[in-house]
Amino acid sequence: MTNTNRNLLTWISFLSYALTGSLIIVTGIVMGDIAKYFDLPISSMSNTFTFLNTGILISIFLNVWLMEIVPLKRQLIFGFCLMVLAILGLMFGHNLAIFSGCMFVLGVVSGITMSIGTYLITHIYEGKQRGSRLLFTDSFFSMAGMIFPVISAAVLARHLEWYWVYVAIGGIYLAIFVLTLMAKFPVLGKKDEEEFEVIPEKEKWGLGVVFLAIAALCYILGQLGFVSWIPEYATKDLGMSITDAGQLVSYFWGAYMVGMWIFSVLLKKFDLQRFVMVLAALATVLMYWFNKDTDAKTLLYVISTLGFFSSAIYTSIITLGSQQTKAASPKLVNFILLCGTIGTMLTFVVTSPIVDKFGAHAALVTANGLYGVVFVMCFLVGFVTKHRIYGHADAE
């Protein structure tokens, strides 16, 4: 593979995470305005966003097989067409059914793109370099989390319609589309005149993959349950403005992005299982602190520190999972990614009833408990992990 093509595929992976991050993270910011637009209570509106999460889940699940049938380039080109149609539907379809359908389509496009992006990184890079690259790739998720809450708050503060936020997100896929037209992709199990062949190897999964899959699910469910309800908690319980509440979310993702950049370098110096276990413990303690404190300035510092230390957890889980076998196939990587996406789908299914009955703060406390489960799973993996056997080689 040429360096130019490797760079093109790597940037497609970066932007695939930015796309998914932007779609998921703006939910908490725009949800109130969309609820007013459709004249629904916010708890009911949050359930509608389950269509987005369901689309992500289904597409990642199906793409385990689709990647061996439909060339990756064709998937990304078709995804761009679907993205354009979905955004047009949000702009011109003024009813809840069309909105829900468009959210589902956006979820499908996002899930397909992210699963392809994750596979490309795990295919192109090996050993600890794979973990480092995955961390840097995931930093684009948090970069979107830092940028798009600010964009969303600016759009809403200027009394523009909420769907312009999704038009801005569509710009990310436009960049993916342009890069896709220039790149050559791996094709699993068959040859193509534009693409090179990859033959998947058989692999046996161990108990460590199960622990890591549970950790991935609980981490994403906890993280998104926490971040999604911060605006509601900050405005209703703490009396902050929507701009200040958006700033809390933005600080979290900004520190998350910086943490990924730093940990992508530090990761090579530590044992991966111990590394992710310590980060999970620190993140659990910091989230507990955030849930107990009420001072606005202190909360900015705490949530920034939380974002920093939790930044490397998810990609470390995926990397650790990919190193439980000699050669990680798309099925193993997508299985752990799928479990994380189940957490995404369950975000409002789990938290909306809690918020409806006990308030937004109860959702944050629930998220804290889920982070505790992540720590326990990462601790248990230490007894069965095979990454020290299969993950020791570095591809420089």
Q: What are the structural domain ranges in the chain?
A: 3-188+201-390
- List, in order, residues 6 or more apart from 383 with CB less than 8 Å away: none
The answer to whether 315 and 135 are in contact (CB under 8 A) is yes
Sign of CA dihedral 294, 297, 299, 301: negative
Token pair recorded at residue 340: 């994380």
Residue written as token pair 């326990």: 376
pLDDT of residue 159: 79
pLDDT of residue 393: 43
pLDDT of residue 189: 54
pLDDT of residue 131: 66
Please give the backbone phi and psi of residue 187, each rounded to the nearest 5 degrees, phi first: -125, 125
The answer to whether 287 and 313 are in contact (CB under 8 A) is no
DSSP label at residue 268:
G
Helices (H) and strands (E) in the chain, counts: 16, 2
Walk along the chain (396 residues) and give the pLDDT tens digit of each residue.
Answer: 688 888 899 899 999 989 988 888 777 778 777 888 888 777 677 777 778 878 888 887 787 778 778 888 899 999 999 999 999 998 887 788 898 899 899 999 998 998 888 888 877 877 667 667 777 787 787 778 778 877 887 887 777 888 888 888 899 999 999 999 998 887 665 544 444 555 455 557 778 888 999 999 999 999 989 988 898 888 888 888 877 887 888 888 888 888 888 887 787 777 778 889 999 999 999 999 999 988 888 999 999 999 999 988 988 888 888 777 766 566 777 788 778 878 877 888 888 889 888 988 999 999 999 999 999 999 998 888 776 665 544 433
The answer to whether 75 and 342 are in contact (CB under 8 A) is no
Return d(Cα 319, Cα 133) in angstroms, integer. Answer: 10
* Superfamily (CATH) of domain 3-188+201-390: MFS general substrate transporter like domains (1.20.1250.20)
Token pair recorded at residue 21: 């991050």
Residue written as token pair 């058989």: 202
